[in-house]
Structure formats: structure tokens, C-alpha cells
């Protein structure tokens, strides 16, 4: 299985950049993993939020092939505990899905286009998280899953 994380905006906070680099290295010991940032729109007073989300959503969808399996990570999605998350990822492999694209929106969230075109809409947390924190949490959970699948002890 290959995993691709498509995010709005680049990672700016040094601790996020460092954490993402750490998990990218760890994950790629087990499988292919890439992060594709797309340009984020500037948000200012009076911005048309629907138009911003639409533009960012179009950029996300441009990065995913038509036959790509799409998972939107959104606060309004189905919440999963770690065990359920593991079952979900295992099921993708059993169904023969070779490459999965996980999408994280910007500060305004994902566009309706991305949400409706997703095969699944899942939530990482009921808390409101920045897109940077969401990416880091996603990467940690993916790494945790891969170590468990490999029968290894999770690094704490």
C-alpha cells in the first residue's frame, strides 16, 4: 500500500517540520509515503470563504488521479479510535487498494467538492486542529499502524 497525504499549505512551525520529517523517515521503512502540499489562499477580512475553500479544493483534487482512493480528514467526519483506524487501513489493503490519498484542508476546512468526492470522510479528533497538527497526528497514527502490522513494538 502507498499512502499520499495532500495538505493545504506548507508546514511552517519548526516542531511540525521536524516531526513530519521524523515520521516520513519512519514510515518509509515500511511503505511508500509522500506529502503533497497545495497552495493555500490568503484569508483576510471580508474574504469569500466559500471561494477560498473551492480554490483550495480544486488544487487538492488536481493532485489525485481519477481512480485514486480518496479519504477526507475532516472534523465532521466519522470518528475512529486507534483500533478502528487500524481496521480501516487493514480493510483497504484487503480490498486491493494500492494507493490511498488522504486530504487535509486549510484553516477553513475542506471544500464540499473534496468531501463529496471522497470515498470516506473520517475525523482525527473532535478537537479543532490546525492543518499542520492534523498532518502530524495522521502521520503518527499511520506509523503506529505500520509498526503493529509488522509485529514490532511501537516506539514510545
Which among 93, 109, 108 has a CA at the least distance from the CA of 142? 93
CATH code of the domain occupying 2-149? 3.40.1280.10
CA pair distance 55, 45, nearest whole angstrom: 18
**pLDDT tens for the chain, residues 1 to 156:** 999 999 999 999 999 999 999 999 999 999 999 999 999 999 999 989 999 999 999 999 999 998 899 999 999 999 999 899 999 999 999 999 999 999 999 999 999 999 999 999 999 998 889 999 999 999 999 999 999 999 997 666
User: Residue holding cell 488544487?
Assistant: 59
Q: What is the pLDDT of residue 142?
A: 97
Q: What is the pLDDT of residue 61?
A: 97
Which among 82, 86, 114 has a CA at the least distance from the CA of 101? 114
Q: What is the pLDDT of residue 43?
A: 92
Q: What is the pLDDT of residue 94?
A: 95
CA pair distance 3, 32, nearest whole angstrom: 6
How many CA atoms lie less than 13 Å away from 3 in the CB half-sphere?
25
pTM of the predicted model as reported, rounded to 2 decimal places: 0.94
Instruction: Work out the angle at residue 38's Cα, subtended by the Cα atoms of residues 33 and 41, and round it to the nearest 5 degrees.
Output: 155
Question: Where do the DSSP E strands lie in the chain?
Answer: 2-8, 32-38, 69-79, 99-104, 120-123
Domain chopping of the chain, boundaries: 2-149
Q: What is the pLDDT of residue 156?
A: 60
Q: What is the pLDDT of residue 66?
A: 86
- Name the phi and psi angles at 152, rounded to 5: -100, 160
Which among 152, 135, 145 has a CA at the least distance from the CA of 10? 135
Amino acid at each position: 500500500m502507498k499512502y499520499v497525504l495532500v495538505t493545504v499549505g506548507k508546514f511552517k512551525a519548526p516542531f511540525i517540520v521536524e516531526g513530519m520529517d521524523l515520521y516520513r523517515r519512519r514510515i518509509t521503512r515500511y511503505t511508500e509515503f509522500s506529502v503533497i502540499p497545495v497552495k493555500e489562499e490568503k484569508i483576510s477580512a471580508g474574504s469569500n470563504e466559500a471561494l477560498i475553500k473551492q480554490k483550495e479544493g480544486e488544487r487538492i483534487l488536481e493532485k489525485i488521479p481519477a481512480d485514486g482512493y480518496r479519504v477526507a480528514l475532516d472534523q465532521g467526519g466519522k470518528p475512529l479510535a486507534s483500533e478502528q483506524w487500524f481496521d480501516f487501513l487493514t480493510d483497504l489493503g484487503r480490498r486491493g487498494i494500492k494507493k490511498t490519498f488522504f486530504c487535509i484542508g486549510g484553516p477553513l476546512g475542506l471544500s464540499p467538492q473534496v468531501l463529496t468526492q471522497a470515498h470516506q470522510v473520517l475525523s482525527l479528533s473532535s478537537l479543532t486542529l490546525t492543518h499542520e497538527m492534523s498532518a502530524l497526528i495522521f502521520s503518527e497514527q499511520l506509523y503506529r499502524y505500520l509498526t503493529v502490522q509488522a509485529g514490532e513494538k511501537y516506539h514510545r
